[in-house]
Structure 1
Amino acid sequence: MKKIKFAVMLVLLLTSFYNYAQQAPPNKNKVKVSGKVFEKVSKQPLEYATISIMSPNDTKVIAGGITNPKGEFEVAVAPGTYDIKVEFISFKATEIKGKNISGDTNLGVVNLSEDAAQLNEVVVRAEKSTVEIKLDKKVYNVGQDMMVKGGTVSDVLDNVPSVSVDTEGNVSLRGSDNIRILIDGRPSNAINIAEALRQLPADAIDKVEVITNPSARYDAEGGSGLINIILKKGKNQGFNGTFIASTGIPEAYGLSGNLNYKTEKFNYFTTLGYNHRTTEGAGLTNSEYLNADGTPKGYLDEDRDTKRTSDGFNGRAGIEWTVAPNTFWTNAINYQKSTGDTQDLINYYNYDAAHAFTGTSFRLNNGDTSNQSVEYTSNLIKNFNDKGHKLTADLSISKNDDDNQSVITASPNFQNTLNNQVQKQVQLQADYVLPLGKAGQFEAGYKGSFGDLNNVYFVTDDTGANNPNLSNTLEYKENINALYTQYGFKVNKFSYLFGLRWEDTNIHVNLLDTNDFNTKKYNNLFPSAFVSYEISDQSNFTASYSKRLSRPRGRFMNPAVNYSSNINIFQGNPDLDPSLTDKYDIGYIKRWEKVTFSTSAYFEDTKDVFSFVRTPNGEVINGVPVILNRPINLGKEQKFGFEFTFNYTPYKWWRINSNFNLYNVKTTGENTYIDFNNNTVVQNLDNQANTWFARINSKLTLPYKIDWQLNATYNGEQKTAQGKNLGQFGMNTAFSKDVMKDKATIAFNISDIFNSRIMRSYTYLQNATTLESQTSYSEMQWRKRQFNLSFTYRFNKPKSDREKGGQPKNEGDGGGDYPG
């Protein structure tokens, strides 16, 4: 079965590559026709507008091109007289008849108006591609993806090229979880980011940007790159909105609404949502214990069954005020609250050396969770002119409360655990952009981030006594100040962007119960450099470098023990140091009429990389040694890989996009610790592994205007220092149909059709003192197959509403595009 799944994935991927269009022959013309294409009402640039140049009274296109993110175009033609046509989906085309072109000609700004007739039709071509490939990032448009209807942000990210989400909700980019997640260009303030992403509904998301090699304008945090989640904001004049209701199996239901009221000076927007979710999971661990001579000592099988339920509410309200024609001020309040409970039952089955059954025990963890967060954001933009000269100021103030309480019942006793976390965060940011000359741009800015986390954790036994070895109070304070500057310019077909960022970090990690105080102060310079060569109007080559940093946070730093299993436990390490990464990337992008293709080769060199190690902690429960899993600064990691991404539209009713990533990881380092017999143990954790990742997504329109979407994902096997992770396959599908004169949509999706998204791994551990060893096989399935049905209703808002090639005036990711 695994070979069949692998073959299906490979055939689909290779077939897609085989079908893309042929490259046009080189252009030898001598003069250039240039200009800009804007939306007439909003004055925003239209990216991907098409320019066609034809002989007079002839429909055959002689030359053509498409606009870049700034709405600019440049087309080479021979001198002569031509008809010029400028088009964009759902807009009225503009034609210039009989234009005499004798030399380089600038047509100026071409303004396009919306075509009301097209906007009220359901035209497959009017939909923007689910995935847009750009030179410096990939943009995933959530509204076009039926797979995520009624789902969460975790579901959204798991469909984004280069991104994957494991069975526990952890997000990785190009196979690395060393990333930074932003929301509207600002770092997420959530204590548990994986859980926060599972609580935020997909319906609140507009699009996701993936930036694998960020420039100096971005935080240095995130060794492998950034993921920017952009929330929905109203853009249409008047009062309009969308309501979505959903239900699913296992039991899940939700209701959400996006409302917007826009006048000439004010834009009011709000998002409200409630959801109830039931998540069923399962797992197992089969362990064999060996004597020093390799003979069996005993066996232990663990079976885990997990059921989680949660009720979540999210609300967002804001107002954008056009203070002056060139000044915009946006204020918003975000609020999230969720409660839930978890039932986690583990059954233990013990066997002797001959594999004869000797006894059983169990461990039941009944947990209650409650968390809420509130955040105020303010954004002010001052445009000094219409050429990009602007000043932006941002403020964010947030507070997060996270409470977890568990009653752990085990034969023959029980325990209570309580984990209470309160985090407060203030962020200040200012960015200044100054165009210089015809093709230059200077940027500079400041960023301040000031956080305070207090974590109280304790474990009590059946007598009510506190366990001092497991309980603690953590106080974590982090203050970061940053300055950056960068300059971009264009010379002929070459574009350059050079930047430098400085960050000063001051961290206090205090364990109040044991009077253990740690202070970490450091400052670093983070250079970045980007070079782009415009081969033609449709193809570009890029090379980039940046230095990145990863600070340990969250559960990595928290010494509180995850006590859901009493023989396999996790504990954070408050003494972790940051890791530094040098990133190199070479990329190529090519656009044809039906295909956009990009490829890149990348190299990452990381020092003091974080790694998890498993060691016996000296305790033995029912004859089974307890294994402690904790993070350390391992040493050095080098990663080299290739990535391919493309969009293909063979017909107007069928779209395909796919992503393939192949990489090699080499880790060098060792772990030294003192074992329970007071012996110094050195673990050699050198490791080298090859692995790959592939995803393909197909969306087509069936008869009766039924849309069908199917995607498949495969994560290849990967060797680790203490074992290996096996390959993982998953497939999802969805159907949707517009009803009620296209004012509503019904969608049905199935997540994990084959119920195959299971994390499987082998682990080998050896006691360096006694030479006894342990081999384990584990499976973990965080979420089983799910079915979901959703109903979407739109009022005063046609289905074909989509981005018009540019962002709203107050929206962005912290800076503008560099020249070229």
Structure 2
Amino acid sequence: MKNFQHSITLFFLMFSLLGFSQERPATKKVKVTGRVIDKTTNQPLEYTTVTFQNPKNPSDITGGITDAKGEFEFNINAGVYDVKVEFISFKVIEMKGRNLQQDTNLGSFALVEDATMLNAVEVRQEVSTVSMKLDKKVYNVGQDMIVRGGTVSDVLDNVPSVSVDSDGTVSLRGNESVRILIDGRPSNAINMAEALRQIPADAIDKVEIITNPSARYDAEGGAGIINILLKKGKNQGINGVVTATVGDPETYGITGTVNFKNEKINLFTTQGYNYRTSPGNSMTDTEYLSPLAEYKFIDERRNNERVREGYNGSFGFDWFLDETTTWTHIFSYRNDNGDNPENTFFYNYDSNRNLISTRNRSNTQISKGENVEYSTNFIKKFKKDGHQLTFDGNVSLNKDDDKASILDNINTDERTFNNQKQTTTQLQADYVLPIKENSRFEAGYRGSFTENIVAFQSDSLNVNTNQYDTNFNLSNDFEYKENVNALYTQFGSKISKFSYLFGLRWEDSKINVNQLSTADYNAKKYNNFFPSAFLTYEISDETNISLSYSRRIQRPRGRFLNPFQNRSSDINIFQGNPDLDPAMTDAFDLGYLKKWKKITLSTSAYFNRTKDVFQFVRRENGEFSNGTPVVLSGPINLAEERRFGFEFTLNYNPFKWWRLNSNFNFFSNETIGQYNYVNSLGQDVSIDLDNSATGWFTRVNSKVTLPYKIEWQLNATYNAPQTNFQGKSLGVLSANMALSKDILKESATISLNVSDIFNSRKRINETNIANVLNSYSEMQWRERQINLSFTYRFNKKKNEKERQPRREGGDEGEFMGG
């Protein structure tokens, strides 16, 4: 590894010197200024695009965007240019052959709205699109009807390369080791899967997929990063969007985003209420192989009706202190209450499949969650374009209280209490310094400080006193503390058609995993270097190829560490492992992008090597419940995992009224390791965890404009079978559909969508544990859902482009054409 780090450092220095050594002949520079306004309102048009094109060399283009006052100022080479001023939904203004040999003020440009252009824009903007950066892909959620009235989980499950399984677990390219950010910050949610179901889809602006993050980003997440950007509203004046939804099973919701902006301040808020019913079910058929098992076959059937009621609100403002300084404050609050009654039946058989007995176990779960968060962002831009300093701060408090009452017609009744409280503080500073025209240096600091306290109590009914007694063997007070301080630096440059970006990140981690009830304290301290390298070559304006490397870390958290047992079943139990070590990943990626007139192809091949990878193992814990061996599942560290794969995303527009996009991902992974334990017979058992497996999934999305301007959208996803060392998961096909129609002169839209048309979206597994059991299971987290949504826009056109500033320090690829 040292040799590799030395090679990266040498490579970095060579290209840095090469970037500084590029000399260009002296060219006269002139300053060009002007202003752009809306002719109807006389309001300045911020983020209007102004371009200067050399008519003799059309590929020679320069320019930029206007500021908050609608003004622009650019330094360009003296010469003759065609000047173009354009903003979406407005008529373009062009000036041909303007001779600019000295500093020139072009005056004011008054743009007029263009209904014809707006219609054309709608065709381009309605479907989720992808834009490529040097180190990420950005998916604009757009007018995606499939997710209307849904949640963040529904949105992610419609994004190429991303999958969300039946219980809400998110994976990227088939790998669950993914870091999820919201507005560039790690989510402070205790239960990530549940938190993603509480944020309405209508509050999302776009999703960034960063499969191989640079040193600028948090090193967490072996598979990469998913950054969810929420709508904040940036348009001039007062405007907004409100969406109301009703559905079956019983669902109600309303979400609104409103903003007001002038030259000094931008106020924005998002408010939402939702009530969702999500009935689910599961089944497990098990054959027990142990000679001590009283029942040789047990069929387990479970039904539940998950009900969630929640409020999600935020308020914020951008304060424009001057033309170069912006200070942003955002306050958010979320609460949700849940009720999840579960009813489980156990059908017990002898070796000849004769029914011996039936047992019923009902579990009534009640939960209450609350989240309070404040974040601030300070941006100072200096005179040179792209030269800036930013500060970010975030403080949050998250509470999650769950209680369950478990009634069993054979075993002792139980009740559990699980109260969690998590506090998080995050600080970050980033500095960006452009060097010459095509080079940039960056450096920064990030500190993240988290404390999570879990109080879990399990009580059993005493039949003699008819009172509940605490089971201290199952109860525990659990404390998790994580302090991570990080420093990073990176340098990038563009030399002709070749771009590079090299970086190095250092993270110092201090982790405490404490079981307070048993006085078992576990402290871990480690620091690591995380190098990254990105190389891109532009074959042409429509084609580029890229090669990247980064080192990543995956720290175990939450249910992975907490040793309390899930008691919804007393024979199939999940338990965390407080002794887990972090997993370290080396990630390599080779990408290719090609654009044609009607087709865009993005493809990549990737390889990840992970040490101390997490792996879930099922084994006997030596106990019996009604004569049945108790099977415990939980995570352990394996020696190593190697994952190789390739994917491609294809966008095809055969006709103006029909759009297709598809994503295909194939991967193979090889795990190496073994696990030793003692079974119910007192025998030492060694499980060979060496395994090689392949898997793939594909997604196809089609959108068609029908007569009377009715939009029809259909997508289908197939997850192929995949083997593991203790069995395999079976293939699952699912599909969603939506219809949409604009009304009220296109100021409103009514949509009908059906999620999981065939009610087939399940997690299906076969498990085989030598000398222990063979089982088949199906789990459906949510059954088919039908939603009807109504969206109303005021002072805002259907597809009007949000006039949002780009955070220049956050897109490494922009200045290098990546």
- TM tier relative to shorter chain: 0.7 to 0.9
Change (3 A) 1:297 1:403: closer
Q: Structure 2 matches for 1:31-42, cutoff 5 A?
A: 40=36
Distance 1:69 1:746, change over 3 A: farther
Report if aligned partners of 2:676, 2:686 keep a CA contact under 8 Å in 1: yes
Q: Does 1:505 align with 2:509?
A: yes
1:470 pairs, out of 470, 474, 489, with 474
The residue aligned with 2:702 is: 698
Distance change >3 Å, CA 761–CA 502, structure 1 → 2: same
Alpha-carbon distance, 1:292 to partner: 7.1
Which of 680, 685, 692 is equivalent to 2:689? 685
1-structure distance, mates of 2:471, 2:106 = 72
The question of 1:618 aligning with 2:622 is answered yes
Matched ranges for 1:286-685 at <5 A: 286-290=285-289, 298-385=296-383, 387-412=385-410, 413-463=412-462, 464-676=468-680, 678-685=682-689
Paired with 2:150 and 2:436, the residues of 1 have a C-alpha distance of 47
User: Aligned partners of 2:316 and 2:542: how far apart in 1?
Assistant: 39
Aligned residue in 2 for 1:777: 776
State the Cα distance separating 1:595 from its structure 2 match: 2.1
Distance 1:506 1:96, change over 3 A: same
Q: CA RMSD in A?
A: 3.2
Distance 1:264 1:614 in 2: 61
Change (3 A) 1:116 1:100: closer
Question: Helix, strand or coil: the match of 1:203?
Answer: helix
In the alignment, what sits opposite 1:27? Answer: none
The one-letter code of the counterpart of 1:753 is I
Q: Which residues of structure 1 form unaligned runs of 5+?
A: 1-33, 56-61, 72-79, 102-106, 767-771
Secondary structure at the aligned position of 2:791 is classed as strand
Q: How far off is 1:618 after superposition?
A: 1.3
State how far apart, in whole Å, the 1-side matches of 2:425 and 2:744 are. Answer: 46
Q: Please state whether the residue corresponding to 1:663 is helix, strand or coil.
A: strand
How many Å apart are 1:803 and its aligned residue?
Answer: 4.2
Q: CA deviation at 1:299?
A: 0.8
**CA 1:234–1:362 in structure 2 vs 1: closer, same or farther (change >3 Å)?**
same
- Range 650-659 or range 359-368, more displaced: 650-659
Identify the residue that residue 805 of structure 2 maps to in structure 1: 808
The superposition leaves residues 494-538 of structure 1 with CA deviations (integer Å, 9 ceiling, x where unpaired) of 101000000000011110110100001000000000000011111
Partner of 2:206: 207
Counterpart Cα distance in 2 of 1:66 and 1:353:
79
The residue correspondences of 1:279-290 to structure 2 (distance < 5 A) are: 279-290=278-289
Distance 1:38 1:639 in 2: 54
Q: Is the 2:362–2:408 contact (alpha carbons within 8 Å) kept by the matching residues of 1?
A: yes
Report which structure shows greater RCO (CA 8 Å, sep ≥6): 1
2:13 equivalent in structure 1: none
1:733 matches 2:737:
yes
Amino acid at match of 1:584: F
* 1:140 positional shift: 2.0
What one-letter code is carried by the residue in structure 1 that aligns with 2:353? Answer: H
Match of 2:162 in 1: 163
Give CA deviations for 1:39-90 in whole Å, capped at 9, x if unaligned: 95566486xx9999989xxxxxx9779999999xxxxxxxx99978787753
Q: 1:740 to 1:284 in 2, by over 3 A?
A: same
Corresponding residue SS for 2:195: helix
How far apart, CA to CA, are the structure 2 residues paired with 1:729 and 1:51?
50
Contact 2:329 2:377 in 1 (8 A): yes
2:243 matched to which residue of 1? Answer: 244
Contact 2:427 2:448 in 1 (8 A): yes
Which string of whole-angstrom CA distances, capped at 9 and with x for unpartnered residues, describes residues 465-505 of structure 1? 11122110001111000000000011111101000000000
> In 2, are the aligned partners of 1:433 and 1:815 still within 8 Å (CA)?
no
1:95–1:329 distance in 2 versus 1, CA, 3 Å = same
Query: TM-score scaled by structure 2?
Result: 0.88
Q: Judge conservation of contact 2:93–2:111 (CA < 8 Å) in 1.
A: no
Aligned to 2:232: 233
Distance 1:363 1:423 in 2: 32
Q: Give the partner amino acid of 1:643.
A: E
Aligned to 2:753: 749
Distance 1:333 1:297, change over 3 A: closer
Q: Do 2:373 and 2:396's aligned partners in 1 also have CA atoms closer than 8 Å?
A: yes
2:88–2:801 contact (8 Å) kept in structure 1: no
Sort the Cα spacing of 1:752 and 1:108 in 2 relative to 1 into closer, same or farther, 3 A.
farther
CA deviations on 1:765-798 (whole Å, 9 max, x unpaired) are 12xxxxx331000000001111000001111111
Partner Cα distance (2:294, 2:624) in 1? 17
| Structure 1 residues 110 and 714: CA distance shift in structure 2, 3 A | farther
Residues 204 and 228, structure 2, Cα contact 8 Å, conserved in 1:
yes
8 Å contact from structure 2 (residues 294, 627) kept in 1: no
Tell me: CA distance 1:359–1:292, structure 2 relative to 1, closer, same or farther (3 Å).
closer
Output one character per residue of 1:625-674: Cα deviation in whole Å (capped at 9) or x when no partner.
Answer: 11101000011100111110122222222222111101111111111224
TM-score by length of 1: 0.88
Report deviation, 1:111.
Answer: 11
* Other-structure match for 1:77: none
Shift of 1:94: 4.3
Distance 2:263 2:355 in 1: 77
SS of the counterpart of 1:555? helix
Q: Which amino acid is the alignment partner of residue 310 of structure 2?
A: G
- The alpha-carbon distance between structure 1 residues 542 and 811, as it changes in their structure 2 partners (threshold 3 A), is closer
Contact 1:594 1:649 in 2 (8 A): yes
* SS of residue paired to 1:340: strand
Shifted more, 304-313 versus 809-818: the winner is 809-818
- Once the two structures are TM-superposed, the CA of residue 560 in structure 1 deviates from its matched residue by 1.4
Structure 2 equivalent of residue 116 of structure 1: 113
> How far apart in 2 are the matches of 1:762 and 1:109?
71
Aligned mates of 1:639, 1:722 — CA distance in 2? 18
